[in-house]
Chains A and B, each alone.
Chain A
């Protein structure tokens, strides 16, 4: 497996994910996934965003969010994380 392209392919498929999620699904160390994401960020294919989970996210209500799919990520992160960093795929290829 090539971590650079494996992470790209998975994130392209998911559109948005945390580095922990990607690491778990690909059985890679989080540090490697972070390095790979840093490469894709530098190349303009990925952007990071903070997903608020405290209010309107991760607790079953979507009233104060724009339906960004971050709820699912936040819900998996658990109630102890009011906000988490997620990565969104921007590239086209």
Chain B
């Protein structure tokens, strides 16, 4: 991020005379929990200008006064060499005019976190230190001494447990006092052997302030940035030689050593050491021995993921009909009736209520299961388990030729593939990064979840959680196999090792979990809702235009452009079970290449349009109150139904026949009913597999192009479409083998043969790359 951008953003964070508070700290130290505690739900989430680092700001009301709070990215150091996160945090702290910096440190891991406190003190900004998680430190047998730490640092130190809000009152008082009379922070003075050469170097550097020049001098001496001019390079060499001569150590080591030594000594003043190992740490060790064990780590992770989706879907099922029917009553029938009463023409009533209202109805229908999924994912993150999942998967991932931290973007990919692809930048090894990027399109994003939910409601009502889980696992398996395939053929090499910090287990705070889940759900509702509503209108109109004898004109849906185009393509999808009458399913897939949200939007637009004659009758004389009462009655009924499904945990009964599945669906709106008529459970599952594996979306394609170039993006798209079609065809043909063994055998053989050819082709590319690299090496040697 440029300095100009940092200034623009700092100016943006300041509104009127509101003070600006920045929160800085290491990852996993409770920074976001503290931010949530200060700002509540008054938050804005976006990206920092020019980079894909998340920007989070909010408004806090402290002592009756509004304040702007900026949550800086969690980093271990401000000096650099750690990617865009560090650049953003450093640039903001050096160039913004924030009134106060709150540095949150983990009391249980104080020495490590104080390294960054040392760097923050170099910025000269007014500083308050929050010593967080003192309860965990105490459970480990440590004795936090905030007064001793405050004395050592010369700034206020507040002991807290941000998760529970303990110490928040003292923090508020400290903030008020610090804003009234900002604590003076003196930049740390090194021993003369380091300080004097630093001062000489500073004189050669550009910068607006003493602090900025000094910070840059430190970065140059520590060798984490390159000198911009030969004059600066000479000055750096001179300073480094002087430090070496005076200390006997290389300059970078002498400066870093001073910082490590300072943190070591300061931590001893801020923390006493009891003589026993705490019960909390002991418990963490005991649990870790199981969840990180070689044999149980991966199965436990899969079991946890399974439980999350089954509980989310089953629990969400209780309220699914309520959300569906209430939103349908209000947004479709209610809006339609209102517009009809206002005297608007039928076509406008139909477009607004059926297209926009129908689309929004679909979005709201899935709020209970998706919201619950987000709550459980936030619980896993806050409890400290998610970091262990990455650790447990490391060995498996290394076998696939991937670094363990490749799991982090994959988990992000459950929300959206685009930040997951961009997030692969955390992997330094180019080969590991390429493989990780190519895996991301197979992670089931929240937009795909909407499609899964719609089909699960219709065909797998009592086993929806299991089906959705199966699709999530299939995505993960395909992602791994893709990395294995490409990593062993076209891009050969070994995975680089990685190191990560495992936070202790924590009892998650309900407030923090709900806030995180709400933030994600809000983004989901805004993004998905907007797209589905917009596409709902377009696709409600498109099926009404076609080519007639007198040129382009309105026509019935069967003769529209959409229908003709989709019908022409439908035979391509027949092997995976899409019959020629079910052309709207093909329309959904075509539209879905732009955004997965559109698949359901497209189906909704078309099916609602096909159903528009009946709809008008609904709008003229709706029974709104009766429908709302009926919606409320679904809650106890679904709760009872949930209990009865415990006897069939895998939900195999729903696969027995399409009639039973359709009957079980209980779908109340036209879209779900049309889906029920157009598919069998088997073809619906094959369709979902295709949706999972083919082109992610236009935005993801753009991100792929940015990260790995046109060539690999093209490969990813073609590979995804081919793999999706092949897998869906294999599923459908295997499932219907008995009905037409000859043609099924041919299709299955064709798909497997094509896959074999792909492997051979990738191996040839790999051989050519290796030969070229060897030739280059030989040329260099001669």
Contacts and interface: CB of A to CB of B under 8 A. Distances in A.
A34 B499 CA distance: 8
Contacts of A43: 223, 250, 252-253
A15 to B, nearest CB: 19
A80 B295 CA distance: 10
A35 B116 CA distance: 12
A5 B248 CA distance: 12
B306 interface: no
B143 to A, nearest CB: 16
A76 interface: no
A68 interface: no
B258 to A, nearest CB: 8
B655 interface: no
A36 B264 CA distance: 12
A75 interface: no
A84 B293 CA distance: 13
B115 A4 contact: no
Contact of A3 (B76, B250, B260, B499): B260
Given A31-B501, A43-B253, A85-B497, A2 B260 contact: yes
Contact of A29 (B111, B256, B294): B111
Given A32-B111, A48-B497, A50-B497, A2 B257 contact: yes
B261 A82 contact: no
Contacts of A42: 81
Given A2-B264, A3-B264, A34-B499, A39 B256 contact: yes
Interface string B498-511: 01010000000000
A83 interface: yes
Contacts of B395: 83
A20 to B, nearest CB: 12
Interface in B241-295: 249-250, 252-253, 256-257, 260-261, 264, 293-294
Interface in A42-62: 42-43, 48, 50
Interface in A1-17: 1-5
A4 B112 contact: no
Given A29-B112, A82-B294, A4 B260 contact: yes
A77 interface: no
A48 B497 CA distance: 8
A31 B81 CA distance: 19
A4 B497 contact: no
Contacts of B260: 2-4, 32, 35-36
Contacts of B253: 4-5, 39, 43
Question: Interface extent on B, as a size class?
Answer: 20 to 34
B39 to A, nearest CB: 29
A93 B253 CA distance: 12
B384 to A, nearest CB: 15
Nearest to B494: A50
A35 B77 CA distance: 11
A3 B252 CA distance: 15
A48 B495 CA distance: 12
Interface string B58-82: 0000000000000000001000010
Contact of A4 (B81, B109, B256, B499): B256
Contacts, number: 53
A11 B294 CA distance: 28
Contact of A38 (B252, B398, B499): B499
Given A4-B257, A83-B395, A35 B115 contact: yes
Contact of A80 (B81, B249, B261, B294): B294
Given A3-B264, A4-B253, A31 B112 contact: yes
Nearest to B248: A93
A90 to B, nearest CB: 14
Contacts of B76: 35
A42 to B, nearest CB: 7
Contact of A1 (B81, B264, B499): B264
A88 B204 CA distance: 38
Interface string B229-245: 00000000000000000
A38 B501 CA distance: 13
A29 B115 contact: no
Which among B223, B261, B398, B499 has the highest number of chain A CB atoms within 10 Å?
B499
A43 B109 CA distance: 25
B663 to A, nearest CB: 52
Contacts of B115: 35
Contacts of B256: 4, 39
Contacts of A1: 261, 264
A2 B111 contact: no
Which among A4, A34, A48, A81 has the highest number of chain B CB atoms within 10 Å?
A4
A42 B428 CA distance: 13
A73 B294 CA distance: 18
Interface in B90-134: 109, 111-112, 115
Given A29-B109, A29-B112, A5 B257 contact: yes
Interface of B: 76, 81, 109, 111-112, 115, 223, 249-250, 252-253, 256-257, 260-261, 264, 293-294, 395, 398, 497, 499, 501
29 contacts: A2-B257, A2-B261, A2-B264, A4-B253, A4-B260, A4-B261, A5-B249, A5-B253, A29-B109, A29-B111, A31-B109, A31-B112, A32-B111, A32-B260, A32-B264, A34-B501, A35-B76, A35-B115, A38-B499, A39-B253, A39-B256, A42-B81, A43-B223, A43-B250, A43-B252, A50-B398, A50-B497, A81-B294, A82-B294
Task: Pick the 8 closest A-B CB pairs, nearest first.
Answer: A2-B261, A4-B257, A4-B260, A31-B112, A3-B260, A48-B497, A34-B499, A2-B257
